[in-house]
Chain A
Amino acid sequence: MAGFLIKRFLQAIFVVIVVTLIVAFAIRLTGDPALMLTQGAGSVTEEDLVRIREGLGLNQPFLTQYLQFIKGLFTLDFGRSFLGGTQVSTLIAAALPATLLLAFSSLIVSIAISIPLGIKAATSRGKWPDQLIRILSLIGLSFPNFWLALMLVLLFAINLKWLPPSGMSGFSSFIMPAVTMGIILTATNVRLVRTAMLETLNSQYIMVARAKGLSENVVLYKHALRNCAIPLITYFGLQFGGLLGGIVVVERVFNWPGLGTLAFDAVGARDYPVLLAVITVLSLLIIGVNLLVDIAYGLVDPRIRTE
């Protein structure tokens, strides 16, 4: 088990290094931040530029800068924003909870819809409810998430005036963003629940539970659902990357004060320290969740460890 843990951990570190190297190197390619910073500042002398480069540590070789960046990661110091000089970590700390809250509520919406529907599809396999759920899931898979968000705004904020069109302020502002991502996630999750349930329903302990005369709901939701919890948690965990990617886009439609909005504003303003930090934090989150899921799965199912 220790060997498995170490191997998975080393793989995760490798991925972190590759992702941050790519991003840091790519940003380095864009040109001289000192020139970008002083754009439109009027009279800028060569000495000023040199001073700015020294102040930002830009006169050092790329590798030294990269090592600085990695060292900063451990102390949560991402440097200062090009815009206004705020600590990047302050900006991240303000935006991260908004994104995580949205991710969490989307997941809850999706689980609340996909588990009953997936179980219904599994128990009526091949019959019309199963077909209907399959077609609905295909339609869900075909929705552009940002357009679904726009259509919800059109219906619930503009026409019916039930919900606020944008921003994060109280429970009602969570409904539309969470439902948008929840529906998109549900399209895949329903199929996963159905597959996992079909496998479980064929096992002997389900037959025993039915033979005991337990009600069908107890059999399905207590005995069967618990036994497919492990594969389901794994699938949901592996989707985390896709979920964050979707949220980044949907945040834009709802002006959600999260990491996605922060990243797009940084792109627009060429504020590269912020952009680098956002991408690093999001990748670290995804890598961390994947690692946890792997380890949890390895703990429960010994076969995975030897793979």
Chain B
Amino acid sequence: MSAAATTPRFARFRNLEFLIGALLAGGMCLAVIFSGVLFPGGAEKIDLMARLLPPFTKWAHPFGTDPLGRDVLARVITGGKISLQVGFISVAGAVVIGVVMGLISGYYRGFWDMIVMRFADVQLAMPFILLAITFIAIAGGGLTNMIILLIVSQWVQYARLVRGSVLSLRDREFILSARAIGVKDYRILFQHLLPNLIGPVIVLMTLNVATNILLESSLTFLGLGVDPLIPSWGGMLADGRTYLQNAWWVSVFPGLAILLTVLGLNLLGDWLRDSLDPTGRTSR
């Protein structure tokens, strides 16, 4: 490690990164959770007298209004619900399946190992967007389908990561001795192996929530995601695209919301990776 990587200035910079990441991601989550309190009028209140109002002109509509006179700020904050829901639920589902499959395939090898590795091959060859187009063309869009799709296409990442760690841990003394004194297999997997490999999994989860928010919003933007009548970042951008010529604010603010939320999560993930793994201090 270079000396520069461990100077106090560097450490302070890292902490600043954590602070900004936590502020962006945490702030957005809080705002979305309390959107009902913040905007009692709701995202759907139509004000036909104030259509396409530019931003920063009226206190009532700081980010302006859309073609139906709905408040852009209220819609951006309320619309975050969809993205955050999809992001967190899909990652939770993928982690549970992926970690269990990874533990089993790495520890027992054989059949399950082959399944995981071949799934990984297929996943590498089929970008998510293609899978999504096929699946949604057939099963239809919507929140539940999108979450299922994300789980199906992403558990393999966790399985591969966990499998790799298990392979390097399974012949270490502490596992051999646990086996020698007759500890049950499931306890070896979940009590002895799992705590030793959970760090990188948490890092991947943080970055994965960010990726899934991006994927959800692009699917919804393309009209393959959630119902366009429900306010969502992707949906607002699809609407705003039509008015790009004369009302830039309708497409700028929802996109900024995605960018800042995802950036916050990426900063947190990056910071976590470095704090959990001091030898990788250079973000290799």
Asked whether A138 is an interface residue with its Cβ less than 8 Å from the other chain, the reply is yes
B130 touches A282 (CB 8 A): yes
Chain A 274-297 interface residues, beta-carbon cutoff 8 Å to B: 275, 279, 282-283, 286-287, 290
B13 CB contacts on chain A under 8 angstroms: 131
A26 x B121 contact (CB < 8 A): no
Distance between Cα atoms of A131 and B258 in the complex (Å): 23
Q: B135: which A residues are within 8 A, CB to CB?
A: 26
B126→A19 contact, CB < 8 A: yes
Inter-chain CA distance A143–B129, complex, in Å, is 16
* Distance in angstroms between the alpha carbons of A138 and B206 in the assembled complex: 14
Bound Cα distance A23, B251 (Å): 34
Contact of A195 among B136, B251, B284 (CB under 8 A): B284
Which residue in B5, B10, B128, B263 is a CB contact (below 8 Å) of A245? B128
A279 touches B121 (CB 8 A): no
| Contacting residues, chain A, for B224 (C-beta < 8 A) | 267
- Quick check: B138 and A283 within 8 Å, CB to CB? no
Q: Are A144 and B258 in contact (CB under 8 A)?
A: yes
Q: Are B121 and A14 within 8 A (Cβ)?
A: yes
For residue B38, CB closer than 8 A to chain A, the reply is: no
A93-110 CB contact bits vs B (8 Å, 1 = yes)? 000000000000000000
- Give the residue of A19, A141, A266, A267 whose beta carbon is less than 8 angstroms from that of B122: A19
Bound-complex Cα distance A29 to B122 (A): 21
- The interface stretch among A56-64, A150-158, A204-212, A228-236 is A150-158
Residues of A within 8 A of B122 (CB): 15, 18-19
Which of A19, A134, A142, A253 has the most B CB atoms < 10 Å from its CB?
Answer: A142
Contact of A126 among B5, B118, B126 (CB under 8 A): B5
Chain B residue numbers with a CB within 8 Å of A290 are: 124-125
A146 is an interface residue with CB less than 8 A from chain B: yes
A142 B134 Cβ-Cβ under 8 A: no
Known interface pairs A14-B118, A249-B129, A286-B125; A146-B237 also in contact (CB < 8 Å): yes
Nearest Cβ on chain B to A66's Cβ, whole angstroms = 15
Q: Name the interface size band of chain A.
A: 35 or more
Instruction: Please state if B237 and A147 are interface contacts (CB–CB under 8 Å).
Output: yes
Q: Which of chain A's residues 235-254 have a Cβ closer than 8 Å to chain B?
A: 238, 241-242, 244-246, 248-249, 252-253
- In the bound complex, residues from chain B placing their C-beta under 8 Å from that of A135 are 17
B283 A139 Cβ-Cβ under 8 A: no
Q: List B contacts of A242 (CB < 8 A).
A: 127
Chain B residues with Cβ under 8 A from A279's Cβ?
A: 130, 133-134
User: Could you count the A-B residue pairs with CB atoms below 8 Å apart for me: how many are there?
Assistant: 143
Whose C-beta in chain B lies nearest to the C-beta of A286?
Answer: B125
Task: Report B247-284 residues with CB < 8 Å from chain A CB.
Answer: 248, 251-252, 255, 258-259, 262-263, 266-267, 270, 282-284
Q: Is the CB of A275 within 8 A of B137?
A: yes
Q: With a CB–CB cut-off of 8 A, which chain B residues contact A114?
A: none
Which of A125, A144, A191, A282 has most chain B Cβ within 10 Å? A144
Cα–Cα, bound, A153→B138 (Å): 32
Contact mask for chain A residues 111-151; partner B; CB cutoff 8 A; 1 contact, 0 none: 00000000000000111000100110011011111110011
Tell me, yes or no, whether A264 is within 8 Å of chain B by CB. yes
B57 within 8 A of A: no
CB-contact partner of B251 in A26, A145, A150, A266, under 8 A = A150
Q: A27-B138, A154-B248, A252-B222 known; A142 and B133 CB under 8 Å?
A: no
A14: chain B residues within 8 A (beta carbon): 118, 121
Q: Residue-by-residue, is B87-128 near A (CB-CB < 8 Å gives 1, otherwise 0)?
A: 000000000000000000000000000000010011011111
How many angstroms from the CA of A198 to the CA of B283 in the assembled complex?
12
Q: Are the CB atoms of B133 and A263 closer together than 8 Å?
A: yes
CA distance A113 to B245 in the complex (A): 30
Selected interface stretch from B28-36, B65-73, B210-218: B210-218
- Distance in angstroms between the alpha carbons of A78 and B221 in the assembled complex: 29
Q: Does B4 contact A (CB under 8 A)?
A: yes
CB distance from A111 to the nearest CB of B (A): 20
Q: Does A90 contact B (CB under 8 A)?
A: no
Nearest CB of chain A from residue B220's CB, rounded to whole Å: 10
Using a CB–CB cutoff of 8 Å, the interface residues on chain A facing chain B are: 11, 14-16, 18-19, 22-23, 26-27, 29-30, 125-127, 131, 134-135, 138-139, 141-147, 150-151, 153-154, 158, 191, 195, 198, 238, 241-242, 244-246, 248-249, 252-253, 263-264, 266-267, 270, 272, 275, 279, 282-283, 286-287, 290
Can you spell out 23 A-B residue pairs with CB atoms less than 8 angstroms apart? A23-B134, A126-B7, A126-B282, A142-B263, A144-B221, A144-B258, A144-B259, A146-B222, A150-B237, A150-B244, A151-B252, A153-B244, A154-B244, A245-B128, A246-B129, A263-B130, A267-B133, A267-B137, A267-B224, A272-B137, A279-B130, A279-B134, A282-B127
The 5 closest A-B pairs by CB, nearest first: A126-B4, A245-B127, A147-B255, A142-B263, A142-B262
Q: 15 other contacts beyond A146-B218, A249-B218, with CB at 8 A cut-off? A: A15-B122, A18-B122, A19-B122, A126-B2, A126-B7, A134-B283, A141-B266, A144-B258, A146-B222, A154-B248, A241-B125, A248-B130, A275-B133, A279-B133, A283-B126
